[in-house]
Structure 1
Amino acid sequence: MFSQFALHERLLKAVAELKFVEPTPVQAAAIPLALQGRDLRVTAQTGSGKTAAFVLPMLNRLVDLKQKRVEIRALVLLPTRELAQQTLKEVERFSQFTFIKAGLITGGEDFKEQAAMLRKVPDVLIGTPGRLLEQLNAGNLHLEHVQVIVLDEADRMLDMGFAEDVERLCNECPNREQTMLFSATTGGAGLRDMIGKVLKTPEHLMLNSVSQLAEGTRQQIITADHNQHKEQIVQWLLQNETYDKAIIFTNTRVMADRIYGHLVAKDYKAFVLHGDKDQKDRKLAIERLKQGGAKILVATDVAARGLDVDGLDLVINFDMPRSGDEYVHRIGRTGRAGNEGLAVSLICHGDWNLMSSIERYLKQSFERRVIKEVKGTYTGPKKVKASGKAAGVKKKKADKKGDKKVVAKRKPTAKPKPNAPLASADGLAPLKRRKPTPTAE
């Protein structure tokens, strides 16, 4: 029960109004420590309820402030504008019975309007690192009174090249009392480096291991002969699987546009997202998907980062992601909150090794699936090693061959007899022994 947490009554009223009853595992683990003011490093999958895990303790710190609103007290950094917008909504929902105000600073919006909002000095500022730095450099942003910083989806921010921006913004908050870092994956050396620089003796909470990130999602692979064959499989899946919303991931913009074109030609309600799309197109695509105006989204990884859509229950990896962490982020969008989901990866000859490395990373083995209506000829790499009796027979034959050719024993060299004729250096004719020269007596 949320009532067990030492939260302000106004926040508990909002929690009850929103019909939050049982905290999720990440909320149960993180909220008590965060209320104590501890620095936290939390690994929890997307869709696990981690936003409330940092929003409620953050608001609890600010709810009783008696000062007039003249300084920004809390800063939340996120990798994408969509995720920032979603977090702003959560902050506003939980703070509805308080006087706390929140503001949003992201790219793709009017710079002067954002500067005007900053002059009103929100208690909580939510934003993306790039645009926040632009406002800072323009002299519009002052962070010296920030008490708490939250870095959400920190691994994504690093992947997008925001490491230096994040460190700079953290350094602009010298009086902060608490820093909380959340990520969906354990990350690599870059994330460990950031943790060492911005957190002070943090409490580490591992709410899920990598191998448990998608327990509610069936993970399958289907082998394909080439990209055209992959397109046929995609069409079959969209026609025959049961889903409310689906997302198809590609590694390139060109392929995303190609698949989108084929879907539209077959009268599917679909949208496409990639780096060439402007903010207006992104907003339209996400809103249509959320409202049910479109059932299918074709996207590249960069465009889909921070995407949070309810009812997304089918993920198709047209192209295999380039890393295990990227795979986790893709399939983490389905099978949320105990619901079932399906993630299907299409594997050509060139994808097999990458797929195998991701299996090893996750310590999982994906389900192999064959669809007879669109079955191809490629079924995986050919086995080099024979097994069973055949292997034993081959080994014996090889051993015998090797005995004859390689392991032939040499005959021991015979020692010359004392009176035997010596061989010449060229081995052609024996040399006569010279009689010993008589010595003078």
Structure 2
Amino acid sequence: MPRSALFAQFALHERLLKALDSLSFTEPTAVQAAAIPKALEGRDLRVTAQTGSGKTAAFVLPLLHRLLAEEKPKSGARALILLPTRELAQQTLKEVERFAQFTFIKGCLITGGEDFKVQGARLRKNPEIIIGTPGRLSEQFNAGNLPLGDVEVLVLDEADRMLDMGFAEDVLKLAGECPQARQTLLFSATAGSGLHEMVEKVLREPQVLQLNRVSELNEDVRQQIILADHVAHKEQLVHWLLGNEPYEKAIVFTNTRAQADRLTGRLIANGHKVFVLHGEKDQKERKLAIDRLKQGAVKILVATDVAARGLDVEGLDLVINFDMPRSGDEYVHRIGRTGRAGASGVAISLICHGDWNLMSSIERYLKLRFENRAIQGLKANYHGPKKLKASGKAAGTKKKKTDGKKTGAKPAAKRKPAARPKAAPSSVVSQDGMAPLKRKKPAAE
């Protein structure tokens, strides 16, 4: 029996089943099983599924099936796939080519970092599928190189990330130029509220498929925190982890390009083979860094969030957050680099005093508690925010009754018998260990 027999239940075109068999696809993942039948029906879909769950095949296979079902040799581009990063666009083009290997369907890649005129010439060859980033595609449209009047299927992959990166205007513009009768498939790793406007404007009565709640994402990844005192201490911890933690490949995330470059220099000086990836790197440098990591020439990549999407590297089993990401969704995308397709992994976040509140908010967002870990010889003096002792009544004290008058000794005849003596109020030391803070009056019992 062909390995792709379980995919045959979807009644996909025989050439696609042949490709699946040649690629040793055994059975559909959860997102593929849920999305492919609905997409084949022509429904608009809004799908939330974790990174690494196989969602690319979930939209590429029904898209190819639709194009194969009715050939239109004289039409313009029939499918448009929008993605947030060059790396994810390149990865998606490879998937299209793999699944379409026994067909005549061609994909065309349009992203930043390549010659604009060369891309225009590529578009004039009339490819069936255009894959690219919103910014560059919008530029090509403005130049008259991107006719969208024949688009039958519009795919917005990693839609939440495109929104985060400021591509909403370009996405809505390109979607508005496509025919209203098109099918639209929107995929994201999170169900952020910011997507509502985009969903309302580009989807028509969509079928909503939520494969994973945020709290269930990356369940195969151990999530740990290590406390640190300062940036230099974090650098020592990263050096130790990369030298002692068992891993095949690792990625270290920073929030800024400057920190990524600084950390890379420190690690190289300590004997690690490292590549750095951030927005200032040109396309050639970015491709080199990712290829070297995939090929195993280097085991470590230091990156800003430009690499948090679209980076699919086999054997990537350690993620270190040198800086805590600025949102729960971004945390999900970062640690989604590891633990892919059922594999296990470890995500370690380094927490200084400036990271604590972010870490706590992400714990609340994910509805989990990170595992606290310490490394012998590198333990931090920082142990989290100092908490004031709970205000309220001091032990053995009672609130004085004033009845609206100044407190004073009552006449002996009116004094209640056997009243307990009042304890002297204790002082509470302030967070800086200096002057005592005044204790608030305890609430009435």
Offset at residue 302 of structure 1 (A): 2.7
Structure 2 regions of 5+ residues with no counterpart?
Answer: 1-5, 412-445
Q: Deviations over 1:68-121 (max 9, x none)?
A: 243111110001111011101101111111121111111111111111111110
Q: 1:59 to 1:404 in 2, by over 3 A?
A: same
The TM-score normalised by the length of structure 1 is: 0.88
Q: What is the match of residue 88 of structure 1?
A: 93
Pick aligned residue for 1:111 from 109, 116, 127: 116
Using the alignment, how far apart are the partners of 1:279 and 1:371 within structure 2? 38
2:304 is matched with 300
Task: Specify the alignment match of 1:220 in structure 2.
Answer: 224
Contact 1:78–1:152 (CA<8 Å) still a contact in 2?
Answer: yes
After superposition, the C-alpha distances for 1:139-183 in whole angstroms (9 at most, x for unaligned) are: 111010100100000001001111010011011112442100000
The answer for the alignment partner of 2:332 in structure 1 is 328
Q: Which residue of 2 aligns with 1:395?
A: 394
Equivalent residue for 1:201?
205
Q: Is the 8 A contact 1:63 1:99 kept in 2?
A: no
Larger Rg: 1
Aligned length: 405
By how many angstroms is 1:404 displaced?
8.7
Q: 1:123 aligns with which of 125, 128, 134?
A: 128
What is the 5 A alignment of 1:272-291? 272-291=276-295
Aligned-CA RMSD value = 1.9
Counterpart for residue 82 of structure 2: 77
Q: How far apart are residue 303 of structure 1 and its match? A: 4.6
Task: Label 1:123 to 1:383 Cα distance change in 2 as closer, same or farther (>3 A).
Answer: same
Q: What letter is aligned with 1:206?
A: Q
Structure 1 residues 121 and 407: alpha-carbon distance in aligned structure 2, compared to 1, 3 A threshold: farther
Partner of 2:167: 162
- The 1:295–1:177 alpha-carbon spacing in structure 2 relative to 1, beyond 3 Å, is same
AA aligned to 1:342 is V
Question: TM-score, length-normalised on structure 2?
Answer: 0.87
| 8 A Cα contact 1:275 1:303, kept in partner | no
Task: Report which stretch shifted further, 242-251 or 376-385.
Answer: 376-385
Structure 1 residue ranges without an equivalent (≥5): 413-441
* Contact persistence 2:253–2:305 (CA under 8 A): yes
Greater displacement, 359-368 / 296-305: 296-305
User: 1:312-327, aligned counterparts within 5 Å?
Assistant: 312-327=316-331
The 3-state SS of whatever aligns with 1:26 is: helix
CA contact (8 A) 2:225 2:371 kept: yes
Shift of 1:383: 3.0
SS in structure 1 of the partner of residue 223 of structure 2: strand
Contact 2:78–2:129 (CA under 8 A) maintained in structure 1 = yes
Distance in 1, matches of 2:168 and 2:30, equals 29
Q: CA deviation at 1:133?
A: 1.1
**1:39 equivalent in alignment to 2:44:** yes
Farther-moved stretch of structure 1 (173-182 vs 256-265): 173-182
Partners of 2:292 and 2:313 in 1: how far apart? 11
Within 1, Cα distance between the matches of 2:73 and 2:341? 40
Deviations 1:328-379 (A, max 9, x none): 1111111111111000111111111111011001111000111122112111
Q: Which amino acid aligns with 2:14?
A: E
Q: CA deviation at 1:304?
A: 4.1
Contact in 2 for aligned 1:146/1:175 (Cα 8 Å): no
- 1:252 Cα shift? 1.2
Match of residue 54 from structure 2: 49
In structure 1, the partner of 2:234 is 230
Structure 1 pair 316–54 and aligned structure 2 pair: CA distance change class (3 A): same
